[in-house]
Every structure is written in C-alpha cells, then in structure tokens.
Amino acid sequence: MAGADLTNERYRRRQRVWDVVESPYVVHLVLFLAVLFIVTPLVWMLLTSLKTRQGVLAMTYLPLEPTLDAYSRALIDRGFWRAVVNSVIVASASTAIVMVLGTPAGYVFSRYRFPYDNAVFVFVLFTRLFPPIGLVTPYYRIVSTFGLLNTKTGIVIANVYLWLPLVIYIMRNFFITIPTALDEAARVDGCTKVQAFRHVVFPVVLPGFAAGTILTFLYSWREFLFAFTVSTDLQSMTIPVATFLFVGDAGIDWGAMAAAAVVSVIPSALVVIAFNRYIVVGLTGGMKG
C-alpha cells in the first residue's frame, strides 16, 4: 500500500511539472526564444549593412547614421548587381527545366506500371540522396571539357541534377493523392492519355505543382557548392558566391558583405513569407509517400 502511494505521489508530482511545461506561457516562451534565435542573425546582418565603415569598426549595436552606402559599395562599386541578375536567371531557368521534366515523370510513377518501374523509382531516390560533393570533381572536369566553366549554363545543368530527382519524387506523391478514377473518367469522355494528364489531372495537382516550383526556386537560389565550382566570374556567378568572395579580401569590408548578404536573403525571405503554406506542404510532401 505504502509503495503504491509513493509511486502515485511521484506520478502526481511529474504530472504537475508536465502541466507547467504544457501551459500556454511556456509554449509561447519557447516559441519566442526560437524565433529570437532564428531572426537575430538576420537582423544583425541588416543592421551591419546600414552602418558606415566607421560605424562597423566602432562596434555599436545600432547604426548611428543609417546609410545605404554599403549597398552601393557592394552592388555598384563591385558590380555585384550583375550577380543578382545572374542568380535570377539561373534560378528561373533551373526551376523551369526541372518542373517541365519532373512533373510528367512524377505522373508516370504515380499511374503506370512498366518493366523495372520500382527499380527506376529507387534509382531516382538514390540520385536525390547521392552526396553532391561526390560529383563536384568529375563535374568540374566535364564542365571544363565542354567549355562551360564560368557560364550560367554550367550552373543550370548542375541544378537540374540536384533538384530533378526531388521534384519527380514530390510530384509523384502529389499525383498519388489524386484518384485514378479521374483519369479514367477523362479517357471515357474521349481524352487521349496526354489530354487526360494535361487538362484533367494537372489542374487538380496545381497546388502541389506550385509547392514544387517554389521549393525548386529557393533551392536553386541558395545553392552554393556547384555555383562556386563552376563560376567565380562576374559574368556568371550567383549572389551567394559573390557574397562569399568578400571573405578572401585582405581587409574585409564587413558592411558591404552584409549588404550583399541582405540582398541575397531578401528574395528568399519574401518567397517564404508569401508562400509559407506551400513550402510546408513541399517539405513534408517528401514523406507522405
């Protein structure tokens, strides 16, 4: 009896602790701290980018005389506005190619049986999980052989390798959620198989397609390894690479570097704020299958 009471007592104490842990105050405190941890580095970059050169060296918290001078040093004096343009071109082209190739492929995996279909699907998954760092050395050689070093094409091709398997997988998972009865109905009504895909099934999967597009754009925008390997030339390098190049300077202009960093974060941040639901769907769409 006494033993049971004791464990009971211990249990009740634990339950009381748990009630505190679960209370709204603690929940919001946790989330507040998490947001603080995530946002502080970004805010710090923004503040740094608004300081004068002296302000950066003086180590003040806030920019005493806020100025956009650092932005003009990074974007105009260094010419990094071209890197921004390159980034937009590379990310858009990569996203377009990947979505056009990957969406029908995902559809086929969700609908049709064919010889070795599971093996081909596993191959696609493995391509996705293959470490890109492993391909960098041969890729560098191939790119130089074909004269694609320091070109945007070289970066776009790398992005196709990186994101096509992911998109095939995600799109397949979205297509699977749509009943095949829909295709069959379209076929009965006289659609060809392509028409059934394009005019009947595709419109239904549009939210998934949007999620895939947004995800691919963000991934291509933030890619560093291949972009850095292929190009460090102003004609073709992307803005994340350009920002990194500040690190090699003798006396790093931290203000200008922060400005370049802010410029490369802004598009991603806007996409996240505008399309957060789609991103959540896209990120978790990879596991619903």
Partner 1 sequence: MATEEYGRDVGPHGGGVTGRISDWVNDHIRTVLLGPSLVALFVVFIYPAVMLLWLSLLNTRGFGETFEPAYNYERIFTDPTFWNAVENTLVYSFGSLVVSVGAGLVIALALNKVTADRLRNGYTTLILLSWAVPLSIVGVTWRWMFNGQLGVVNRVLLDVGLLSSTFSWLTTSSTAMAVIILADSWSRIPFAAIVLLAGLQSIPQEMYDAAKVDGATSLQTFRNVTLPYLRPSFFVAGLITWMFAFRAFAIPFSTTGGGPGGATETLAIYIHRFGIQLLDYGFASAVAVILVSVTLVVAAGYVYFILERMEEIEV
User: Segment near partner 1 (CB under 8 A), from 1-9, 51-59, 66-74, 75-83?
Assistant: 51-59
* Binding-site member from 213, 257, 259, 278 for partner 1 (CB under 8 A): 257
3-state secondary structure labels for all residues of the chain: CHHHHHHHHHHHHHHHHHHHHHCHHHHHHHHHHHHHHHHHHHHHHHHHHCCCHHHHHHCCCCCCCCCCHHHHHHHHHCCCHHHHHHHHHHHHHHHHHHHHHHHHHHHHHHHCCCCCHHHHHHHHHHHHHCCHHHHHHHHHHHHHHCCCCCCHHHHHHHHHHHHHHHHHHHHHHHHHCCCCHHHHHHHHCCCCHHHHHHHHHHHHCHHHHHHHHHHHHHHHHHCCHHHHHHCCCCCCCCHHHHHHHHHHCCCCCHHHHHHHHHHHHHHHHHHHHHHHHHHHHHHHHCCCC
Cβ 235 to partner 1, closest distance in Å?
Answer: 19
User: Segment near partner 1 (CB under 8 A), from 75-83, 99-107, 146-154, 204-212?
Assistant: 99-107
User: Segment near partner 1 (CB under 8 A), from 67-75, 100-108, 147-155, 201-209?
Assistant: 100-108
Cβ 74 to partner 1, closest distance in Å?
Answer: 12
Separation of alpha carbons 101 and 194, rounded Å: 15
Interaction pattern, residues 64-93, with partner 1; x per rule: CB under 8 A: ------------------------------
Site membership for partner 1, residue 276 (CB under 8 A): yes
CA dihedral 42, 43, 46, 52 (to 10 degrees): -130
Q: How many positions of this chain bind partner 1 (CB under 8 A)?
A: 102
Q: Please enumerate in sequence order all residues whose Cβ is within 8 A of that of 143, keeping only pairs 6 or more positions apart, or say none.
A: 149, 154, 157, 229, 230
* Binding-site member from 192, 233, 235, 249 for partner 1 (CB under 8 A): 192
* Rg, C-alpha atoms of the chain: 25
* Binding-site member from 1, 7, 20, 22 for partner 1 (CB under 8 A): 22
Cβ 276 to partner 1, closest distance in Å?
Answer: 4
* Amino acid identity, position 78: R
User: Segment near partner 1 (CB under 8 A), from 75-83, 147-155, 203-211, 262-270?
Assistant: 262-270
Site for partner 1 in 107-136 (CB under 8 A): 107-109, 112, 114, 118, 120, 122-127, 129-136
* 117-129 and 81-111 helices, crossing angle to 10°: 160
* Binding-site member from 6, 35, 64, 182 for partner 1 (CB under 8 A): 35
* Binding-site member from 154, 244, 256, 259 for partner 1 (CB under 8 A): 244
Cβ 17 to partner 1, closest distance in Å?
Answer: 9
Site for partner 1 in 199-228 (CB under 8 A): 218, 221-225, 228
Cβ 133 to partner 1, closest distance in Å?
Answer: 4
* Binding-site member from 2, 59, 119, 188 for partner 1 (CB under 8 A): 59
Site for partner 1 in 136-175 (CB under 8 A): 136-142, 157-158, 160-161, 164-165, 168
